[in-house]
A and B are shown apart, each in its own frame.
Chain A
Amino acid sequence: MATTVDREIAAPGLNGRVDLRLICQLVEKGSTVLDLGCGDGELMELLIRERQVKARGVEISEEGIYACISRGLSVHHSDLDEGLEDYPDGSFDYVILSQTLQAVYKPKMVLLEMLRVGRLGIVTFPNFAYWQVRLQLALRGRMPKTGDLPYEWYDTPNIHLTTISDFLALCRQEGISVVKALYLSGTRSVTLFPNLLARTGIFVIQKRSPLSLGEG
């Protein structure tokens, strides 16, 4: 299911955020996008510039809100764990949750809300089953710290760390189909044993409609 990553896209740059470039490639030109946990608006700005989308953001920190608005972006100050009740069903083509799933209190609810509000969801998260993470826990018996997970256990915002396998299991359980999955280790694409070798998973998901026929 993994897709080959463009050499150009995977080339280092863009402050090391290869995943943002990849998300950008996944989004259709001229579509509407809601970016959950949009931070300072870097992804929204990229999407507007490269894909000419209409983008809206949701962010919990005031600093993020200030940064977004000073970039001319539209952003809503809100906590994702309170849901997306302000947004009508199907009001966006894409709802994006980039490196945020592991930081919310109710990840399942947020995923379901994403797919209520958006036609497609794009989720990225650090893979807690990456071999380096496993080794740190197995050999040192300490909570892992890596480039993607740099925090101490006692002050990390990442309260719901997950693995690629666990995420896929949740999708199956909730009737969510994975339209596309990309696995990354740094700037390289991973095709073999992603749950062991990928640092980051990127998924395009959608609600499995009971009426849709002929879908694999």
Chain B
Amino acid sequence: MRFSEEGSVGIVTTQYFTFAHPPNEMPLDSGEKLGPITLAYETYGELNEARDNAILACHALSGDAHAAGISADPSGISAADIGFGAEGKGKVDRSRIGWWDNMIGPGKAFDTNRYFVVCSNIIGGCRGSTGPSSINPATGRPYGLSFPVVTVADMVRAQKHLVDYLGIRRLLCVAGGSLGGMQALQWTVSYPDMVRSCIPIATTARLSAQGIAFDEVGRQAIMADQNWHGGDYYGKNTPLPGLGVARMLAHITYLSDESMRQKFGRRLRNREKYGYDFSIDFEVESYLRHQGDSFIRRFDANSYLYITKAIDYFDLTNGDGFLSKAFRNVKARFLVISFSSDWLYPSYQSKEIVKALKANGIDVSYCEIPSSYGHDAFLLEEEAQTHLIRGFLAYTAAGKDL
């Protein structure tokens, strides 16, 4: 197994932590309880003696615990197979490289020579953590829709158990993009004494109507699939076409008009003239179908329903609209990053976060990185993000703990 790409954390193995065994199940926002809970996680770098160099990286909707390096599991299908970054980088099989490998590693933005980086899969997911496709120990069958609805705060509550278990009293930083950014923000609000700094990227403090709308179309595509069977499809035909359509739609929202024009334009796929039929004519159609096909091989349709619901419910203001109140007890310092062409989580939503933090006198830096990649830029614009994150972390680490 040869892997020597510079700046890589090398071969990594996913680990598992199980907690909340009955009768000590973990309470959820919905009022229900969940347990036992397993979280899949990976770690990179070394936790120092003072245990103050730990960074939690939070993943987005389709991500997983495998954030960096190359997976020891040869059958693993990586979440890195997303966006334009998936192609033509290095000689290594992309399918086994972590989803944020360009940002986490020796000498990278999250420098594993200096920091101990943890990435955990979220509850409700399907990549090794407890979710609707897990076996319900009470019945011996997969949960399906009997799995309780979880929120971003529940995901973070579960991560807190893992962080405690790893012996980390205080995180140097919590960082993530998109849903990962929501988790990062939630951390600073739920556990203000445990977070020294936060880097929310391409995210929002409350999902917009547009965001909810796209999520709902994705869910409807899954639930309209005749194989879905009210979520009870495990061991039978699975609602793959519905999940594929959900992914194709969502993927469009991660790109931008400009990036699609640059990459595909109106180019035809393997033909000189229109086919005058409904097979694939255009490159962009082929690309989206590939995205749908590769996604359904690694993702569970019910998890897609649960996670998009958690994203829809995310609202740090708890509905009262006053974001500055939500940050009242926050103690972390912040680096907020948005991207100029991100229309799913537009910059105004990041600025709203910045404004509310400032109203509380919280130390916050903000940068809108110019990019044509759309929402996916948080996975692709490594150079600009590295400029920002490296310095921010170095000064946070050097700063006095107050």
Contact = CB atoms under 8 A, between A and B. Distances in A.
Interface of A: 62, 65-66, 68-78, 85-88
Interface range for B: 20 to 34
B392 A69 contact: yes
Contacts of A85: 355
Interface in B343-402: 351, 354-355, 358-359, 363-370, 384, 387-388, 390-392, 394-395, 398
A86 B358 contact: yes
Nearest to A75: B365
B335 interface: yes
B366 A77 contact: yes
Contacts of B366: 75-78
Nearest to B389: A69
A76 B365 contact: yes
A71 B391 CA distance: 7
Given A76-B366, A86-B354, A86-B355, 17 more contacts: A62-B367, A62-B369, A62-B370, A65-B367, A66-B387, A66-B391, A68-B365, A69-B335, A69-B387, A72-B395, A74-B333, A74-B365, A75-B365, A76-B365, A77-B367, A86-B351, A86-B358
Nearest to A58: B366
B363 A66 contact: no
Contacts, number: 52
Contacts of A86: 351, 354-355, 358
A72 B384 contact: no
B145 to A, nearest CB: 44
Interface of B: 333, 335, 351, 354-355, 358-359, 363-370, 384, 387-388, 390-392, 394-395, 398
Nearest to A73: B365
Contacts of B391: 66, 69-72
A65 B387 CA distance: 9
B368 A69 contact: no
Nearest to B350: A77
B354 A69 contact: no
Nearest to B391: A70
26 contacts: A62-B369, A62-B370, A62-B384, A65-B365, A65-B388, A66-B384, A68-B365, A69-B335, A69-B387, A69-B388, A69-B391, A70-B390, A70-B391, A72-B391, A72-B394, A72-B398, A73-B365, A74-B364, A75-B366, A76-B364, A77-B367, A77-B368, A78-B366, A86-B351, A86-B354, A87-B358
A154 B364 CA distance: 36
Most chain-A CB neighbours within 10 Å: which of B351, B369, B387, B394? B387
A120 to B, nearest CB: 19
A66 B369 CA distance: 10
A109 B394 CA distance: 37
Contact of B359 (A65, A69, A73, A88): A88
A69 B365 contact: yes
A135 B291 CA distance: 67
A70 B387 contact: yes
A121 B333 CA distance: 26
Contacts of B387: 66, 69-70
Contacts of B363: 74
A69 B358 contact: no
Contacts of B365: 65, 68-69, 73-76
Contacts of A66: 367, 384, 387-388, 391
